[in-house]
Every structure is written in C-alpha cells, then in structure tokens.
Structure 1
Amino acid sequence: MPEPQIRKSAIVTETIWHEGGPVAETPLRRAAAMTVIANPFAGRYVEDIQPFMEDLKPLGEQMAQDLIDALGGDPSVIEGYGKGAIVGTNGELEHGALWHAPGGYAMRAKIEKSMAIVPSTKKVGAPGARLDVPVTHANASYVRSHFDAMEVGIPDAPKADEMLLVLVMTTGPRVHNRAGGLAAQDVKGEDGLR
C-alpha cells in the first residue's frame, strides 16, 4: 500500500500545576500528537487490511519523536503513554485497530523504560468528535498514580473518508495522586505490570 496521505497534524501540550489542591512542586506535563490521514479502506469492506500497519510505522515513529520534543526532548522524562484513533463514518472500527501496533511500538522504541502495554481506545465518529485517550505508567501498568486520560480532537476531523490517529505521553503522575498502590519509584520493570 502507499504511504499514508496526511491532511493535517497537531500537537497539544498541557502543564498542570494543581487540580484544586496545593500547587505541585513539579507540574504534570502531557501532550498529544494527532494526525489526520486518508482512510484507504473507506466506503468498502476489505478483508486483508493488515499490510497498512507496516505503512503506518514511519508515521508512528515521527509522532512519537514529535511528542518527546514537545515535552522537552529528553525521552527519560516520559512516564506515561496511551494511543487512540477516531475513524470517519465511511470507515469501520477495525481500521482504527490498525494503529495499535505502529503507534504503540513507536513509543516503546523511543522510551527506554517502557515494558507496559500501551493502553488504547478507538471509535467511529464525525468531524469534531472527541476521544478520551487512556494513559498508564510506561513501565508498569499497576502504577495507579499514572492512570489518566487526555481528551483530544480536531474540529474538522475526521471527515467521512479519514482517520484521526493519536499518541499521548505524560511526564508523571496525576498532580494530586492519593490512590495508593504500587509507587512509581518501586517499579521493578520486569513484566510490564509491576
């Protein structure tokens, strides 16, 4: 298949100092990279869609690097991640599932401590649809302090024959984390869970 046809991309960054409690000594930073591409399968059923995952790999790598750059350029500060996709209404949910491997592995390849599976979400939606992208600790899924989500979207995307692909990275826990459980500093980093 040909390389993805990109219509537009956007990066959104947030710096969170507090959520109504004391001001954090170190604020949480999180960012989302979003890219709107043509859906090569829109409007028809195609049985063999897996080869498109290979075509998406360079895009995943670029988006992951763009996020690291947006968060200061040092991949060692990334502690959380997630991914997602919104498929335009002429596509199907399975088209968004093609983003799982190229998006997830791209982030894991660039972040040294990234044993945890990258959480994901996807849906079919019209232009302006929003998506809550789940986030977990990059090295251990059981770290409750990093359970989070980032709401994303682009006002004019995805159009019916497009897909909006998303990667999210964060630099730490929720600013007022008090839920207990495994602490980030106690992660063993052996199995992606603890």
Structure 2
Amino acid sequence: MKPEIRKIVSFEEETFIEGFKAAETPVRMFAVAAVIKNPWAGRYVENLRPEVLAYGPILGEILTNKISAMAGGATNIEAFGKAAVVGQNGEIEHASALIHTLHFGNIFREAVQAKSFLSFTNTRGPANAPIMIPMMDKDDGGRRSHYLTLQFNISDAPGPDEVVVVLGAATGGRPHHRIGDRYQELKELGHDVENPAAV
C-alpha cells in the first residue's frame, strides 16, 4: 500500500529587508508539499491506522529529503513545522492522521537532530486554500525568535478527494527579533523556568 502522489510542490522565500531594515543574514524559509489521493475520501472509516502506517514513512522520507536539499543540508535547518490540508470530501481527521504520527514526523526530527516537537496546522479547504506552516526552534520551544509562519498555496490542490501533506523549515529566526524569550517572563511571573506550570 503506497500513497498515490499526484505531484510534489516546493516553495521558498528569502527575506533581505524586514521592517524597513536590511537583515544582517537573509532568512530563508521553505516548504515541500505532497499532493496525494485521500484514501478515505467520501466515506467514514473507523480504522485509519493501516494507511497511516503505510503512508507515513514514505511521505516522511520524500519530504524530508527534499526540504533538506533545499536548505543545503539538514544541519542548516533551525526552525521547523508541518501541515496538512484535506479536500472537501475528507475529514479534518484525515489531515491529522497523516501528519500526527511518529512514522511521519520523526523522520524529519531525526534528520535535523531536533529536541522540540513539530508545530502544526491541520485544516480543510478547496484548491488554492492557504497552507499555513507554524514553526519553532528545533531545539528550544521557548526561543521566540524562531516563532515563524510560512504561507503559500497550490492553485489546483487539494482537490475534493486529495490531501496536501507539508513540511516547513527555516534557516534562522525573524531578522530583527526583539521580544525576548519565554524564560525572562516566566521569572518575572514567579514561575519555575524548568517547570512553567508550577507557581
């Protein structure tokens, strides 16, 4: 059982000037998307696991290899995220199923040697729907400089019976980040930095 991939779409942007000021180092953000046939479209399926187990490693490997190459190597990736958009004949659960599995996401996490979890969106939409990929630092979820969102769209996807599965990455944080990290505010509020839920 393999995913039926209609096409792979790559997107890249490089920011040289942000907020009327040149970036010291241009920030590059990337996305790679697989447009696949939704194996559950148009019907309710109780057990999604067979397709998840079959599709996850294949899509994870293809997209990880492509996005790593776009970045000039996985070690150049500092921030990362994932997304899925299911077409109108599918459920949000279908989008979720394909990206919220270690059989998909851990391939990317291991390639970039990440400690953080992959931030995500899972939505439903028509062709040309916005694809939003929230990102965070691969090693430090509290490092606000790397809270980024990459947005793009594919003019003919997802079709009603398709799912778009996406990985996103960035080579750095926002060019002029100056809002600090979570840790200083946790201290100001009297929270234990190592255990933020404790007061």
TM-score (norm. length: structure 1): 0.89
Greater fraction of residues in strand: 2
Q: Which runs of 5+ in 1 are unaligned?
A: 184-190
Larger Rg: 2
- Mapped partners of 2:29, 2:176: distance in 1: 15
Cα offset, 1:181, TM superposition: 1.4
Cα offset, 1:60, TM superposition: 1.1
Aligned residues: 182
Report the counterpart of residue 152 of structure 2 in structure 1: 152
Report the counterpart of residue 187 of structure 1 in structure 2: none
1:135 counterpart = 2:135: yes
Cα offset, 1:51, TM superposition: 2.0
Aligned partners of 1:83 and 1:100 also within 8 Å = no
AA in 2 matched with 1:23: A
Q: Which moved more, 1:91-100 or 1:40-49?
A: 91-100
Aligned partners of 1:18 and 1:176 also within 8 Å = no
- Mapped partners of 2:36, 2:146: distance in 1: 30
Structure 1 residues 154-184: Cα deviation after superposition (integer angstroms, max 9, x where no partner): 000011100011100111101121111169x
Aligned partners of 2:24 and 2:175 also within 8 Å = no
AA in 1 matched with 2:12: T
Any idea what SS the aligned residue of 1:13 has? strand
- Mapped partners of 2:121, 2:50: distance in 1: 21
The percent of aligned pairs where both chains have the same amino acid is: 35
1:167 counterpart = 2:167: yes
Aligned partners of 1:134 and 1:147 also within 8 Å = yes
AA in 2 matched with 1:96: A
Report the counterpart of residue 107 of structure 1 in structure 2: 108
Structure 1 residues 130-159: Cα deviation after superposition (integer angstroms, max 9, x where no partner): 121110001111100000101122000011
Report the counterpart of residue 181 of structure 1 in structure 2: 181
Cα offset, 1:85, TM superposition: 0.5
Cα offset, 1:103, TM superposition: 3.6
Report the counterpart of residue 33 of structure 1 in structure 2: 32
- Mapped partners of 2:39, 2:47: distance in 1: 12
1:52 counterpart = 2:33: no
AA in 2 matched with 1:81: F
Report the counterpart of residue 187 of structure 2 in structure 1: none
Report the counterpart of residue 96 of structure 2 in structure 1: 97
Q: Which moved more, 1:117-126 or 1:93-102?
A: 93-102
- Mapped partners of 2:104, 2:169: distance in 1: 12
